[in-house]
């Protein structure tokens, strides 16, 4: 990964600093229900304040499609940010471009914060319109991107604007990129990847990229059923994409050719339905009853994966091993997550995880604080795993 500038490379005292953040937080009845995305940006904000910058925050919220949708205003976020900063004043602008916004920025003292209204109220944001980016650029002297989770989109505030002002990565962006580089860019080997989830069809590019980069590929969740079925193993009433049998076999063949060990569950947990308290049993993966469905990896499979990780130096995790939201089908995910966390705490395994279900699963397993790094970037994390170029990251690298 080519280098990019960080906050440390810029002189920011007295400067108007435009900071692209991700404040697309869940809001119910006008109140934020999870402020983790706000909290993760605080180190960047505090660094900029300590250098005497005028901090101008830009973000999107929802999908207003270029029109003003009152329910998608960032006004509640200004209050949430103020609370996260211990009651510090956060001024809110009712637009994100124009003379009124420029006037508000002009009134800021060094170290003060202004949050702009939803970027996506303007169609030029998602269209990556140079004219809209130029209007944003008029508001600042320096640009900081601290929204890795939006870096897979070539939008005006993530791509075009980078080319109009001195640009650098914020602390969250910097941390994310550094850990991703450690995980797959130049990792310590052996490298394992654990990929779970419901469908192979949604992760074909991901699997295709990983078999050429990792030493061990663990496939779990409903995806594993498709791979078992492709090898002639009956999976009963389990979720299975029969039409992808040839694709699954091709992935296995490519993995073999590239020296990547693929691990599928040797035993599985089956039940007649997915519901709490349903009677379940553990059977060999090749002995699934016709009237049952696979809902988790089995006890032996979880132990085998945990044992494999003991000889690895790096683990990339995306997706659960079973239907972890419903007990007892969370067991395999919990066991492997706790094993990975223990190895991380010992210092023998670097663990990087990401993706919505993944974060939820690791929180459920009680190990979210024990992994080396957990990305909350969602789509951007997945596209990075797939080996795709992220426009927001590329722009920062080219500006370095």
Task: Express each pLDDT in 18-60 by its tens digit.
Answer: 999 999 999 998 899 999 999 999 999 999 999 999 999 999 9
The answer to whether the beta carbons of residues 280 and 258 sit under 8 Å apart is: no
Using CA of residue 130, residue 133, residue 138, residue 143, what is the dihedral sign?
Answer: negative
**Domains observed in the chain:** 7-172 (3.40.50.1260), 187-385 (3.40.50.1260)
DSSP characters for 272-316? Answer: SS-STT--EEEEETT---TT-EEEEE-HHHHHHHHHHHTT-SEEE
- For residue 6, the 8-state DSSP code is B
pLDDT digit string, tens, across residues 222-244: 999 999 999 999 999 999 999 99
What is the model's pLDDT at position 329? 97
What percent of the chain clears pLDDT 70, i.e. is strictly above it? 100
- The residue from 138, 163, 199, 237 that is catalytic is 199
What is the model's pLDDT at position 3? 86
- The residue from 20, 37, 54, 120 that is catalytic is 37
CA distances to 80, 92, 168, 348, 372 from 146, rounded to whole Å, are 18, 19, 9, 30, 20
pLDDT at 355 over 90: no
Is there a catalytic annotation at residue 153?
A: no
The answer to whether the beta carbons of residues 165 and 18 sit under 8 Å apart is: yes
Is there a catalytic annotation at residue 356?
A: yes
- The residue from 52, 66, 111, 356 that is catalytic is 356
pLDDT at 394 over 90: yes
pLDDT digit string, tens, across residues 250-279: 999 999 999 999 999 999 999 999 999 899
What is the model's pLDDT at position 84? 97
- When mean pLDDT is compared across 147-151, 330-334, 375-379, the lowest value belongs to 375-379
Is there a catalytic annotation at residue 124?
A: no
pLDDT-derived band of residue 2, with 50, 70 and 90 as boundaries? low
Closest CA to 244 of 269, 215, 219: 219
pLDDT digit string, tens, across residues 50-99: 999 999 999 999 999 999 999 999 999 999 999 999 999 999 999 999 99
- When mean pLDDT is compared across 221-225, 271-275, 305-309, 354-358, the lowest value belongs to 354-358
Q: Is 213 helix (H, G, I), strand (E, B) or coil?
A: coil
CB-CB neighbours of 181 under 10 Å: 12
- The residue from 379, 387, 388, 394 that is catalytic is 379
CA distance 333 to 211: 22
Q: Is 18 helix (H, G, I), strand (E, B) or coil?
A: strand
pLDDT-derived band of residue 280, with 50, 70 and 90 as boundaries? very high
What is the model's pLDDT at position 377? 87
Return the C-alpha torsion angle 267, 226, 239, 333, nearest 10.
Answer: 50
pLDDT-derived band of residue 151, with 50, 70 and 90 as boundaries? very high
pLDDT-derived band of residue 1, with 50, 70 and 90 as boundaries? very low
pLDDT at 171 over 60: yes
Q: Which helix (H) or strand (E) holds 228?
A: helix 221-230
How does the average pLDDT of the chain come out, rounded? 96
């Amino acid at each position: 990964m080519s280098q990019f500038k960080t906050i440390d490379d810029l002189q920011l005292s007295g400067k108007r600093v435009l900071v692209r953040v991700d404040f697309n937080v869940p809001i119910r009845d006008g109140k934020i229900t999870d402020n983790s995305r706000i909290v993760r940006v605080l180190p960047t904000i505090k660094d900029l304040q300590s250098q005497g910058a005028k901090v101008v925050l830009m973000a999107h919220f929802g999908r207003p499609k270029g029109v003003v949708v009152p329910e998608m205003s960032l006004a509640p976020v200004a209050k949430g940010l103020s609370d996260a900063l211990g009651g510090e004043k956060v001024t809110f602008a009712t637009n994100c471009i124009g003379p009124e916004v420029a006037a508000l920025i002009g009134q800021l003292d060094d170290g003060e914060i202004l949050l702009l209204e939803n970027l996506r109220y303007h169609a030029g944001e998602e269209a990556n319109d140079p004219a809209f980016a130029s209007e944003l650029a008029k508001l600042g002297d320096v640009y900081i991107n601290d929204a890795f989770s939006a870096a897979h989109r070539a939008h005006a505030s993530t791509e075009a604007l980078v080319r109009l002002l001195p640009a650098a990565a914020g602390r969250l962006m910097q941390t994310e990129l550094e850990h991703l580089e450690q995980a797959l860019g130049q990792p310590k080997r052996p490298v394992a990847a654990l990929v779970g989830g419901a469908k192979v069809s949604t992760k074909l590019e991901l699997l295709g990229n990983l078999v050429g980069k990792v030493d061990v590929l663990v496939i779990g969740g409903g995806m594993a059923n498709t791979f078992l079925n492709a090898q002639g193993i009956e999976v009963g009433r389990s979720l299975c994409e029969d039409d992808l049998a040839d694709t699954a076999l091709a992935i296995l063949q490519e993995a073999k050719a590239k020296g990547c060990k693929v691990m599928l569950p040797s035993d599985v947990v089956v039940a007649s339905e997915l519901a709490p308290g349903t009677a379940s049993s553990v059977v060999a993966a090749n002995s699934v009853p016709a009237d049952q469905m696979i809902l988790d990896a089995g006890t032996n499979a979880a132990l085998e994966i945990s044992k494999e990780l003991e000889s690895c130096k790096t683990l990339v995790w995306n997706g659960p091993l079973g239907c972890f939201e419903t007990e007892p089908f969370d067991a395999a995910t919990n066991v492997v997550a706790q094993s990975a966390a223990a190895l991380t705490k010992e210092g023998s395994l670097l663990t990087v995880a990401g993706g919505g279900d993944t974060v939820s699963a690791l929180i459920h397993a009680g190990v979210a604080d024990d992994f080396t790094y957990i990305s909350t970037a969602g789509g951007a994390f997945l596209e990075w795993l797939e080996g795709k170029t992220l426009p927001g990251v590329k722009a920062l690298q080219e500006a370095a």
